[in-house]
Chains A and B, each alone.
Chain A
Amino acid sequence: MAAGMTADSRLITRIRDGDIEALGDLYERYKAQVYRTALAITHDERMSEDILQETFLRVYNYADSFDTSRPLGPWLYRITVNLAYSWTNRAKRWVSFFQGAVERLKAPDHLYPERVAEERERSQALQQAIDTLPTPQRVVVILYYLEDLSVSDIAYVVGVPEGTVKSRLYYARKKLKEAIVERGQGVKPEVVYDFT
């Protein structure tokens, strides 16, 4: 998301003047990342669509408050994550959040059913382990591994110090490793941590 910052700044300037088409250009540029992040956190397609809409409506409303000298990506992720946090918390009051999450995320079938089945099983096992992480750890894992954000960007997005991000990643990895070893998914036991 960091690339094309000047183009983003130009679009933001146009949005400030009320140009809806500029918002459309920005939407085309970032819709996949925003939607994917929302879906990874919420596991709900409808909710992710709503979050996507709300994110770009907020970009339109709050374009004045955005500092165009900074990259747009982390700001968008910040809005998305905040919305996903609040919306999933709201939804949790009514439905069991993790119920059937893996089934909704099933990948389409391919040509080699046995290999696909095996891969899917491993992927689903790990996805289940990720889903059982506490939400703050899960969000950090998604931003780090799925969206390839740097630790400093994640710190800005989530609104915590960099040390907290690293700590959350550390404990998330630890839990994931334990979950995988329990299931016999074949992670090497000598996963290296730096202790100083």
Chain B
Amino acid sequence: MISHDRFSLRQSEDQLDVMVRWALRSNMAGASPPSHNWDRIRDRLRRRGKRGGFYQDWRRFREFLDALLKKDLFFPPQQNYCFECSVKNSMEQHWPYLFVCQLELPMVWAKVV
């Protein structure tokens, strides 16, 4: 197994490290953005008006969704007992068992007769 702990301890750097650092820094020496860059950022922000963005929009959407769910618009609670509903629910839950029973019932009936 290779240990790469030398990268955590910078004091063990060698000539290659020095050369790579020097090459990168000499190529980037004096690199700075043009002065008008900040003006563009500020203009874009002012044009857009108050702070917004995806994160805030997403937060607002989630709050809106939470409010909707609390009002039970999508999933209304079954406050009143409904016999038909309960039968339908139980049939939906146990349909394979009912299906089997339905197949066997005539045979059972025939035996009884």
A residues touching B (Cβ–Cβ < 8 Å)?
Answer: 18, 20, 23-24, 27-28, 31-32, 35-36, 39-40, 48-49, 52-53, 56-57, 60-62, 64-65, 105, 107-108, 119, 122-124, 126-127, 130, 141-142, 144-146, 150-151, 163, 165-167, 169-170, 173, 176-177, 180, 185, 187-188, 191-196
Tell me if B26 counts as interface (CB < 8 A to partner A): yes
Q: Which of A27, A31, A196 contacts B32 (CB 8 A)?
A: A31
Q: Using a CB–CB distance below 8 Å, which chain B residues touch chain A?
A: 1-8, 12, 14-17, 19-34, 37-38, 40-42, 44-46, 50-56, 59
Question: Are B2's CB and A170's CB within 8 A?
Answer: yes
**Residue among A52, A122, A127, A169 making CB contact with B4, cutoff 8 Å:** A169
Given A24-B38, A105-B27, CB of A193 within 8 Å of CB of B51: no
Q: Are B53 and A193 in contact (CB under 8 A)?
A: no
| CB atoms of B41 and A53 under 8 A apart | yes
When the two chains form their complex, are residues B37 and A18 in contact, meaning their CB atoms are under 8 A apart? no
The reply to whether A187 and B27 form a contact with Cβ atoms under 8 Å apart is no
Q: A27-B41, A173-B16, A188-B15 are in contact. Are A145 and B21 (CB under 8 A)?
A: yes
- Closest Cβ of chain B to A122, distance in Å, is 8
Q: Are A49 and B28 in contact (CB under 8 A)?
A: no
**CB distance A49 to B42 under 8 Å?**
no
Docked CA distance A122–B23 (Å): 8
The CA of A194 and the CA of B14, in the complex, are separated in Å by 13
Choose from A36, A123, A169 the contact partner of B7 (Cβ within 8 Å): A169
When distances are taken between beta carbons in the complex, the residues of chain B under 8 Å from A141 are 20, 24
Q: Cβ of B55 and Cβ of A65 under 8 Å apart?
A: yes
Which residues of B have CB within 8 Å of A49? 33-34, 37
Tell me whether A146 and B28 are in contact (CB under 8 A): yes
In the complex formed, the residue of B with least CB distance to A28 is B38
Which chain B residue has the least Cβ–Cβ distance from A101? B27
Among residues of A, the one whose C-beta sits closest to the C-beta of B5 is: A194
Q: Looking across the interface, which residue of chain A has its beta carbon closest to that of B59?
A: A64
6 pairs of residues in contact across A and B, judged by CB atoms under 8 Å: A60-B45, A60-B53, A108-B30, A144-B7, A170-B2, A194-B3
A165 to B6, CA, bound (A): 12
Assuming the contacts A32-B32, A60-B53, asked whether A188 and B24 have C-beta atoms less than 8 A apart, the reply is no
Compute how far the CA of A126 lies from the CA of B28 in the bound complex, rounded to whole angstroms.
Answer: 13
Beyond A105-B27, A170-B4, 16 additional contacts (C-beta under 8 Å) are A31-B32, A57-B41, A57-B44, A62-B53, A64-B55, A123-B22, A123-B23, A126-B19, A126-B20, A126-B23, A146-B25, A146-B28, A167-B4, A173-B16, A173-B20, A180-B16
- Which A-B residue pairs are the 3 nearest by beta carbons? A61-B53, A166-B4, A126-B23
| A166–B8 CA distance with the chains assembled, in angstroms | 8
8 Å CB contact of A53 from B7, B16, B21, B37? B37
Assess the A36–B31 pair: CB atoms within 8 A: yes
